[in-house]
Amino acid sequence: MYDTIIIGSGPAGLTAGIYASRANMKTLMIASAFNPSLITTTDMVENYPGFPDGITGFELIDLFTKQAKKFGLEIVEKDVSTVTKTAEGWEVSAGGETYRSLALIIATGTEYAHLNVPGEEELTGRGVSYCATCDGPFYRDSRVVVVGGGDTAVQEALFLTRFASEVIIIHRRDRLRATAILQERASAHEKIRFEWNAVVEKITGDTAVKGIVLQDVNDPDRKKTLEVEGVFVFTGYIPNTSFLKGIVDLDDVGYIRVDENMSTSAPGVFACGDCTKKLLRQVVTACGDGATAAFAAEQYISDLKGTSYGSWNKP
Amino acid sequence: MAEEKFVDNPDTALTVNDDDIDAAIAKYPFLVVDCWAEWCGPCKMLGPIIESLAGKLQGEIVFAKLDVESNPQTSSKYGIRSIPNLLVFKNGQKVGDIVGAMPEDKLMERINGFK
């Protein structure tokens, strides 16, 4: 029986792991065996304090993991199928194993939303991609599109200019949602151009992407065909919370509702990071949430056991 | 050199490159080539799974790894646009590919689909 089980191994989960392990809680992290944290696919994190030159998402997670392991965090790589309430606490089934704990910390993050248009599924891996850092180098001297207008879309478009001859950003509005500095860089970039007020109607190609058909959002009869070899989709996120339906309170989209202490509607279940309903989903906010969740879980367990793990308010 | 490298019934994943992949395809009746790169996070998650399957399926399926960064000819020949990408060869012919990282049991299921 663990004190706490952390599900998810991104910035929120690993920070919770650092805090919980350092407070001598018996802690297990269940990291997905095949769905790494989205931050690991991010080419450059420039707004996490302490790294003035920026750091790749992959390296950052590697450092977080080392730090958590230093304090004794136990990590298994399994995919969670169910979470069940028991008389004593919680039971987690993952990859054929069952783990038990008094408290749970959910830090499962999000995955990229799909466009759900004809051609997308059939051509995934054949020109349709959700990971510019993985697939960008296969598009040397090619013409590609990036669908979306947020930070991720613009950041990935800038990354793709290293390889592609032309990067076209397709956005459903007439201006970007991305942060000002990224907007400026994209607008100034000679390889980047924009298709505003446009959505992808379908992706064409037989064994590889040949092109896309765009639809004007203001005039659905107006179509435009572009010949492209790559379609990179960054239109939004879906929380990885389907296994929690009926266990904790979720909003309409599936984000977990938490209070200021990261408590969910289920006693002993805490949540942190991108999978929660919140305003800003960033590494730095995920870390803050993770620390709070670990502290709240520790208080909850101390109350259950009638013991204390010692002072938290010291460095 | 090729004879030494391509042993009968290997129990670990072999390493192939642009020059010798065809020899491997010709030698092994059921070959799965894991195309990966250093820059690709999901590839690093799939690596240990490929090693594990190479041991478990010894004598049945041969696994090999190909670094796409240093072997551009193979990437372009098979139209690789996304990694990790597993190329599946049977009796010298490409019969399919499996794109993306997935857990061992799911991957086994996909590979068994080519049997």
pLDDT recorded at residue B106 = 81
- With CA atoms as reference, report the closest residue to B7 among B49, B68, B59, B50: B59
Model pLDDT for residues A267-305, shown as the tens digit of each residue: 999 999 999 999 999 999 999 999 999 999 999 999 988
pLDDT recorded at residue A40 = 82
pLDDT band at A38 (very low <50, low <70, confident <90, very high): confident
Estimate the crossing angle of helix A11-22 against helix A283-305, to 10 degrees: 40
Model pLDDT for residues B67-96, shown as the tens digit of each residue: 998 999 999 899 898 888 999 999 999 999
Inter-residue contact A134 to A41 (CB < 8 Å):
yes
Q: What are the residues facing A213 on neighbouring strands? A: A202, A225
Tokens describing residue A210: 């040949």
Model pLDDT for residues A136-161, shown as the tens digit of each residue: 989 999 999 999 999 999 999 999 99
pLDDT band at A314 (very low <50, low <70, confident <90, very high): very low
> What is the set of domains in chain B, with CATH numbers?
2-112 (3.40.30.10)
Estimate the crossing angle of helix B104-112 against helix B41-56, to 10 degrees: 60
**H or E stretch covering B108:** helix B104-112
Estimate the crossing angle of helix A11-22 against helix A57-70, to 10 degrees: 20
Please list every residue in chain A whose beta carbon sits closer than 8 Å to the beta carbon of residue B88: none
Sign of CA dihedral A116, A119, A122, A125: negative
A79 counts as catalytic: no
DSSP string, chain A: -EEEEEE--SHHHHHHHHHHHHTT--EEEEE-SS---GGGG-S-B-SSTT-TT-B-HHHHHHHHHHHHHHTT-EEEE--EEEEEE-SSSEEEEETTEEEEEEEEEE---EEEPP---TTTTTTBTTTEES-HHHHGGGGTT-EEEEE--SHHHHHHHHHHTTT-SEEEEE-SSSS--S-HHHHHHHHH-TTEEEE-SEEEEEEE-SSS--EEEEEESS-TT-EEEEE-SEEEE-S-EEES-GGGTTTS-B-TTSPBP--TT-B-SSTTEEE-GGGB--S---HHHHHHHHHHHHHHHHHHHHHHHT-----SS--
In which residue are the tokens 């947020």 written? A150
Tokens describing residue B111: 């590979």
Please list every residue in chain A whose beta carbon sits closer than 8 Å to the beta carbon of residue B42: 34, 36, 41, 131, 134
B35 counts as catalytic: no
Inter-residue contact A239 to A107 (CB < 8 Å):
no
Tokens describing residue A308: 């204390």
pLDDT recorded at residue A18 = 98
Asked whether this chain's domains A2-111+237-305 and A114-233 adopt the same fold, the reply is yes
Residue A138 sits at the chain B interface (C-beta within 8 Å): yes
Partner-chain contact A137 B42, CB within 8 Å: no
Model pLDDT for residues A65-108, shown as the tens digit of each residue: 999 999 999 999 888 999 999 999 999 999 889 999 999 999 99
Q: Is beta strand A269-271 parallel, antiparallel or unpaired with respect to A97-106?
A: parallel
Sheet holding B93-99, edge to edge: B14-15, B62-67, B30-36, B85-90, B93-99
Cα A50–chain centre separation: 21
Q: Is the pLDDT of residue B20 over 50?
A: yes
Dist CA A149 CA A170 (whole Å): 7
Q: Is the pLDDT of residue B33 over 70?
A: yes
pLDDT, average across residues A212-234 = 96
CA angle at residue A287 from A281 to A290, to 5 degrees?
A: 105
Inter-residue contact A88 to A102 (CB < 8 Å):
yes
Partner-chain contact A126 B42, CB within 8 Å: no
Catalytically annotated residue among A135, A151, A274, A289: A135
CA distances from B73 to A116, B43, B78 (A): 33, 19, 9
| Nearest residue of chain B to residue A140 (CA atoms) | B81
- Write down the pTM of the prediction: 0.77
Residue A140 sits at the chain B interface (C-beta within 8 Å): no
In which residue are the tokens 């390493």 written? B15
pLDDT, average across residues A248-261 = 96
pLDDT recorded at residue A307 = 67
Partner-chain contact B41 A124, CB within 8 Å: no
**H or E stretch covering B53:** helix B41-56
Mean pLDDT, rounded, of chain B: 90
Query: Which residues are CB-contacts of A307 (< 8 A; sequence separation ≥ 6)?
Result: none
| Nearest residue of chain B to residue A32 (CA atoms) | B103
CATH class of A114-233: alpha beta
pLDDT band at A35 (very low <50, low <70, confident <90, very high): confident
Dist CA A11 CA A39 (whole Å): 8
In which residue are the tokens 């509607």 written? A265
pLDDT band at B42 (very low <50, low <70, confident <90, very high): confident
- The interface pTM score, or ipTM, of the predicted complex is 0.74
pLDDT recorded at residue A309 = 53
Dist CA B54 CA A174 (whole Å): 52
Q: Is the pLDDT of residue A310 over 60?
A: no
pLDDT recorded at residue B3 = 52
Inter-residue contact A92 to A101 (CB < 8 Å):
yes
Partner-chain contact B42 A208, CB within 8 Å: no
Domain A2-111+237-305 has CATH 3.50.50.60: yes
Q: Is the pLDDT of residue B28 over 50?
A: yes
Mean pLDDT, rounded, of chain A: 93
pLDDT, average across residues A231-242 = 94
Dist CA A228 CA A168 (whole Å): 9
Q: Is the pLDDT of residue A249 over 90?
A: yes
Q: Where are the domains of chain A?
A: 2-111+237-305, 114-233
* Separation in Å, CA of A127 to nearest CA in chain B: 6
User: Cis ω on the peptide bond leading into residue B84 (within 30° of 0)?
Assistant: yes
Q: Is the pLDDT of residue A115 over 50?
A: yes
Which of B66, B73, B82 would best serve as a mutation to test chain A binding (most A beta carbons within 10 A)?
B82
Catalytically annotated residue among A3, A62, A79, A134: A134
Tokens describing residue B16: 């192939």
pLDDT, average across residues A123-136 = 88
